[in-house]
Chains A and B, each alone.
Chain A
Amino acid sequence: MVDAPATTDPNTIGLIVDPGPQCVGYTNGLFATVTLCEPGTTTCQTIDHVLVDTGSVGVRVLESELTLALPAVTNPSGLPVAECTPFVDGTAWGPVRIADVMLGGESAANLPIQLIGEKTHSMPGSCAGSAITDFETLAANGILGVGLHVQDCGDACALPLPTGANPSLYYTCASSQSCVVAAVPLSQQVTHPVAAFPVDNNGTIIKLPNIDSSGAPSVPGVLTFGIGTQANNGLGSATVFTLEGLEFVTTTFPVGGTPYTSYLDSGSNGLFFLDAATANLKQCSAHGLSSFYCPDLETSLSATVSSANAASATIAFSVASAAQLDASHFAFNNLAGPMPGFPTDKSVPGFDWGLPFFFGRTVYTAIEGQSTPAAAVSPYFAF
């Protein structure tokens, strides 16, 4: 395990795909190093191995890692705010605090972030799902959510509770043992750090090199801030894909075949698509690997990604057996598995283009409501 490499341009930071913090053995985890400071001070702390996730928004770090005294976000009565944040494989719980967040040469002042842990407030029973409250359950030191939106929740979490339209992510806590669901205004919600930069704040770019089909022990990359704001972050020849429902592109598989709802997500550690029968791939039978495909031979496939703005790209990808991966490697462009719940109606996507998709590409994520040089209205993905 090494830390993400240093970069020279102030609007960039280094990325690394490696076994993760404490050599936990994370497969296809994309990590960055984040610096947090007590607001308005030079009392700062650097936290390595924070998972870079285009599928979520906001900075979250383990409460157990934090040595700083960060002020709480409080409601008008002075009660501290906490959050119950759903992720696919669990629910992160912990207090919402204010920090100055430094990423390379850029900084987001007074940014609401989440601490993950129960040191301040116990996870209440009403916050359901498999608890993510410590290193054991997160397997990273935090999450750097660089997704499509400005806040993690948005308008819905500011709605009065009696309407039933508030998804109940935010809480206020009268004591360490009594947290209850609360409406929280946008300005107090966990916020995209890049959207809060004074410049280079309209999106992010993840650039990872190609890797061999046998994988790699570790892979360095670069996260760039801003789209078309500096000499180093132009769209160039990238194709812009507008999003259906602010989230989805269409993936047609095989090329010329059936269209499926789909998305890009650097926080998914594999390509998750269709099911074994539809993809004509064998699912792994080994205990603990049933989330992955295990074809006898590495299988080459292709699909078309398209969106309503008439953008289209053919994606060649391959699927290797998850049971036969090189044990000394932690980055793979051919780790894949079935999409849970497929087949069903359009509410279940057909493709999750996870981290393997990002190798050998430059992927742009434009933040909702921000303007970029593209004709398309944000949010969008481009690659």
Chain B
Amino acid sequence: MKPNRRNFRRLSAWAGAALALAVVFQFSSRAQAALGDDVAEVAVDQARMQASLQVWRSGNYAIHELTSPSGIKVRHFVGDSGKVFAVSWSGGWRPNLRDIMGAHYDRFIAATRGKRVARGVARIELPGMVVVMGGHQRAFYGHVYLTDLVPAGFLPEEIR
């Protein structure tokens, strides 16, 4: 038997197909502080997660950090426009990605469909949006940001 296919080649073609599909999935609206929403919605998230809230400023943006009773930390990065331009998470379990990504969730899902290149890490780049995820059972982390909403001079490394 001579294998002539490798998973990541086959799958890179799928990723391309998924990008085209993304157009079909239009944004849905949700009542929480997801990516691209107003900072006022963080309170909705806080109530839903029964989380404690800490807020601090870093340069030209603010960080709203929610800590849930299950120990998951979710940080919302908020620019001067009052929009959430990035969200990061860490903890024993992954927070609900639909809640984290809001209107952008469906196109994230469309882009990941069938995409299994690296096992154990994930980096998904979409037009205007980057998602990175890692970890394993009982230890998850990741972040997502909208490239068009990040403040001037912001570096992805500042998302923590």
Q: Which of A's residues lie within 8 Å of B, judged by CB?
A: 1, 19-20, 23-29, 55-57, 86-90, 125-126, 128-131, 136-137, 139, 145, 147, 149, 152, 154, 156, 163-169, 217, 245-248, 263, 265, 267-270, 272, 287-292, 322, 325, 327-328, 330, 337, 339-341, 343-345, 347-349, 352, 354
Contact = CB atoms under 8 A, between A and B. Distances in A.
Interface stretch (B8-16, B35-43, B76-84, B146-154): B8-16
Interface of B: 1-13, 15-16, 49-51, 68-70, 72-73, 88, 90, 92-94, 96-99, 105, 108-109, 112-123, 125, 132-143, 157, 159-160
B7 A328 contact: no
Given A88-B133, A349-B139, 5 more contacts: A86-B93, A130-B112, A136-B114, A290-B125, A348-B160
A130 B113 contact: yes
Nearest to B8: A288
29 contacts: A1-B1, A19-B3, A24-B5, A25-B9, A26-B7, A56-B137, A86-B137, A88-B120, A88-B133, A89-B118, A125-B98, A130-B113, A154-B138, A156-B92, A163-B50, A164-B68, A165-B70, A270-B120, A272-B120, A288-B8, A288-B15, A289-B12, A290-B123, A290-B125, A328-B4, A340-B133, A340-B134, A352-B134, A352-B136
Contact of A347 (B3, B49, B96, B141): B141
Contacts of A136: 114
A290 to B, nearest CB: 6
Contacts of A86: 93-94, 137, 140
A337 B121 contact: yes
Contacts of B137: 55-57, 86-87, 145, 147, 149, 152
B10 A25 contact: yes
**Dominant secondary structure at the B interface:** mixed
A295 B33 CA distance: 41
A340 B93 CA distance: 17
Contacts of A163: 50, 69
Contact of B70 (A152, A166, A348): A166
B116 A167 contact: no
B121 A340 contact: yes
Contacts of B93: 86, 156, 167, 169
B132 to A, nearest CB: 4
Contacts of B160: 344-345, 347-348
